[in-house]
């Protein structure tokens, strides 16, 4: 078994095979064994990472989250009682000086999530397009509707839509993509339903239940991806991402989201977080080899030129480099989708 890695696997029914195989060089992470097998494997040279106790999550999970898992029980209980909220509370309790136990648990969890995300994407034939935008676009607003239309258009054009997995414009892009297999009237009806609970304040519970009502009514949605973080745990993940890669470490989460969006990235109007993502992506493109530059599309010419003047600096950086032809600013989500289709 040299070089074999087992992650969160129940091996209690495989004792005879484990006894017969050479264990030296094998790695077992959070696996379950029959009595005596763990000690035997360790004595034969296997490296075994034990299950870490007293955690509200599995540090070695082998698959991405779903909204149903993170919000389990939301139909009958308040948000504070569901797994997502409990994990966030655990992260707060570890404090600014976390114990080695907490540091190891969160680091192993984030490693497992990255591994599961890459497994998921390896099975996907579709190019991934990232949609970045602020969390404060309320349901029922024009900004929210535009982001939803963008998600729908991209999904129908053959892209896998990925977002930061939170509320606002991120949720809107995910819901538009999720409902892409349904007719346009379905999306319009869903937006009306969601608009009855514009935001996650004052009640995350009611906000989530409104979203699950849409999902329950339309269970055959398109696959979409959300990559949120418990670092911003006061912002709940949206339920329209069918696959959720949720991280403890925000810096890692940001890097993963940008890096995996190889089909291009659309930046909707946003504040500090979105600006950070723009220049983090710009840095990658600035140093990228020709042919490896990912299209950057900023939606809202006036916003990015005058209100939050990112565009002049971005163009200054791009001048004379291979990224120069890949920086775009448009005034509508339809133009953004058209540019991405043309770049395929």
Local confidence pLDDT in tens for the 344 residues of the chain: 999 999 999 999 999 999 999 999 999 999 999 999 999 999 999 999 988 888 999 999 999 999 999 999 999 999 999 999 999 999 998 666 678 888 889 999 999 999 999 999 999 999 999 999 989 899 999 999 999 999 999 999 999 999 999 999 999 999 999 999 999 999 999 999 999 999 999 999 999 999 999 999 999 999 999 999 999 999 999 999 999 999 999 999 999 999 999 999 999 998 898 999 999 999 999 999 988 999 999 999 999 999 999 999 999 999 999 999 999 999 999 999 999 998 88
Confidence at residue 40, expressed as pLDDT on a 0 to 100 scale = 97
What are the backbone angles phi and psi of residue 217, rounded to the nearest 5°? -75, -20
Confidence at residue 51, expressed as pLDDT on a 0 to 100 scale = 85
Cβ atoms 244, 201 nearer than 8 A: no
Q: Cα separations (Å) of 236 from 71, 80, 221, 228, 318?
A: 10, 11, 21, 9, 35
Cβ atoms 287, 313 nearer than 8 A: no
Using CA atoms, how far apart are residues 168 and 166, in angstroms rounded to an integer?
7
Residue spans of beta strands (DSSP E) within 133-276:
160-163, 225-226, 243-244, 265-267
Buried b (16+ CB within 10 A) or exposed e, 100-126: eebeebbebbbebbbbbbeebbeeeeb
Question: Which residues partner with 28 through β-bridges?
Answer: 6, 48
Q: Where are the domains of the chain?
A: 1-51, 118-343
Q: Cα separations (Å) of 192 from 172, 196, 198, 200, 211?
A: 12, 7, 10, 16, 11
Handedness of CA 91, 168, 165, 80 (dihedral sign): positive
Q: Which fold has domain 118-343?
A: Rossmann fold (3.40.50)
Q: How many residues are there in the chain?
A: 344
Question: Which residues partner with 6 through β-bridges?
Answer: 28
Confidence at residue 291, expressed as pLDDT on a 0 to 100 scale = 87
Strand order in the sheet with 27-29: 5-7, 27-29, 47-49
Confidence at residue 97, expressed as pLDDT on a 0 to 100 scale = 62
pTM over 0.75: yes
Q: Which two tokens stand for residue 205?
A: 């519970």
- How many other CB atoms are found less than 10 A from the CB of residue 79? 19
Cβ atoms 161, 197 nearer than 8 A: no
First to last CA, the chain: 42
Using CA atoms, how far apart are residues 225 and 238, in angstroms rounded to an integer?
10
């Amino acid at each position: 078994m040299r070089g074999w890695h087992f992650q969160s696997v129940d091996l209690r029914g495989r004792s005879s095979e484990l006894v017969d195989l050479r264990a030296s060089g094998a790695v077992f992470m959070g696996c379950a064994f029959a009595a005596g097998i763990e000690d035997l494997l360790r004595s034969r040279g296997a490296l075994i990472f034990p299950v870490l106790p007293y955690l509200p999550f599995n540090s070695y999970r082998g698959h991405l989250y779903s909204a149903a898992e993170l919000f389990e029980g939301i139909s009958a209980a308040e948000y504070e009682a569901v797994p997502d909220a409990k994990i966030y509370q655990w992260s707060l309790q570890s404090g600014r000086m976390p114990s080695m136990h907490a540091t190891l648990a969160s680091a192993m969890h984030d490693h497992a999530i990255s591994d599961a995300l890459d497994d998921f994407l390896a099975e996907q034939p579709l190019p991934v397009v990232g949609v970045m935008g602020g969390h404060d676009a309320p349901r029922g607003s024009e900004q929210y509707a535009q982001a939803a239309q963008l998600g729908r258009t991209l999904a129908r054009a053959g892209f896998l839509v990925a977002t930061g997995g939170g509320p606002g414009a991120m949720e809107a892009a995910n819901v538009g993509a999720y409902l892409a297999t349904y007719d346009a009237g379905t999306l319009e009806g869903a937006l009306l339903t969601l608009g009855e609970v514009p935001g996650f304040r004052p009640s995350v519970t009611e906000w989530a239940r409104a979203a699950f009502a849409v999902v329950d009514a339309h269970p055959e949605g398109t696959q979409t991806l959300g990559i949120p973080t418990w670092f911003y745990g006061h912002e709940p993940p949206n339920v329209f991402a069918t696959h959720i890669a949720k991280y403890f470490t925000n810096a890692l989460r940001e890097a993963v989201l940008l890096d995996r969006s190889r089909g291009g990235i659309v930046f909707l109007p946003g504040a500090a977080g979105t600006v950070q993502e723009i220049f983090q992506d710009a840095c990658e493109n600035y140093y990228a080899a020709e042919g490896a530059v990912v299209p950057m599309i900023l939606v809202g010419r006036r916003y990015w030129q005058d209100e939050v003047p990112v565009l002049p600096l971005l163009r200054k950086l791009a001048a004379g480099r291979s990224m120069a032809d890949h920086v775009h600013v448009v005034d509508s989500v339809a133009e953004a989708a058209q540019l991405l289709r043309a770049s395929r």
